[in-house]
Amino acid sequence: MFGNSTVRIKIDIGLRNFLRRFGILKATLIAALLSIFSSFVLYFCIGTILGEITPVGILSSVIIPACVAPPIAYSMLRLAQRLGLAEKELLDAYNSLELQVRLRTAELVTANRQLQEEIATRTRTEQKLQKGVARMKKNLEKTIDAIAAVTEIRDPFTAGHQKRVTTLACAIAEEMALPDEQREWLRLAAIVHDIGKINIPTEILVKPTRLSEPEFNIIEAHPQIGHDILQGIEFSQPVAKIVLQHHELMDGTGYPQGLSGEEIVLEARILAVADVIEAMASHRPYRPAQGIGMALEEILHNKGELYDSDVVDACLRVFYEKDFAFE
């Protein structure tokens, strides 16, 4: 099988070389003459062997090939020429396609290298950004801790309240499965939620009797003052907003803005419940401690009216199921 293929390939190559050298007409003439000569020689050889060579036979061996051979040779050589042209076109197309593939491959390699460089650059930028954000958060926490320390120096009682509220608020947030970021903002806000009281005269903070209306108005201003203090600290907007709203109530009777329902951020609703629980359970200059039991009855009685229902339920679970207790 392979031998026959080899012979066909050699014949094909020979025909094409023949055509390229002489052209279709010359090649046809040469092929016809070779056919006539071959026919004449063959007739002469056979006639010699048989002992019979006639003028008619000689004439026939020349005339018949002369009439038949040229068109056959022309057709065959023309077909070979067309096949050669088709092969050349196919080869040119293949070479063109191969060139395009090489060029496109080179473009893709270059684009891939550029993409990898861009990814590496973006990764480095994101890493720097993440480090910057982490550094800003750390600085914010240090700033808030410093503010809380100032509050503690001025009024140790209030500072203790903020720490206990922070512990309870974080426990409620964990029970409610808040995302880590929200829990962190809540923790930072709880640490300094009463920072605005730094602007309140000490005699009002420790007054053992009922506050007058002007004095109570001063007390009600402390969320706004705390917000204004914290808002000036870079990256503390969520903290400042939580502090601003931690005395707002669900029915709109809170202060300083009289917000209600979903207008109050969830962290502030959590902080409000933790704040009232700790305040009622602890001693105040104007009254003795009322205890955890009464504080829990207070939020349960006003569940859905003053305090967020989901927050109240989570708070009750923290105390009754998780055995939460202030240190």
Residue 117: both structure tokens together:
């460089």
Task: Supply 297's token pair.
Answer: 């009855």
Of 142, 183, 179, 181, the C-alpha closest to 166 is 183
Tokens of 265: 């951020």
Q: How far apart are the first and last CA of the chain?
A: 97
Residue type, 122: R
Q: From the candidates 197, 207, 241, 303, which is the catalytic residue? A: 197
> Residue 258: left (phi > 0), alpha (psi -120 to 50), or beta?
left
Long-range contacts of 152-160 (CB under 8 A, 24+ apart): 154/198, 154/202, 155/197, 155/202, 155/205, 157/205, 157/206, 158/194, 158/197, 158/205
Is 303 among the catalytic positions? no
Active site residues: 197
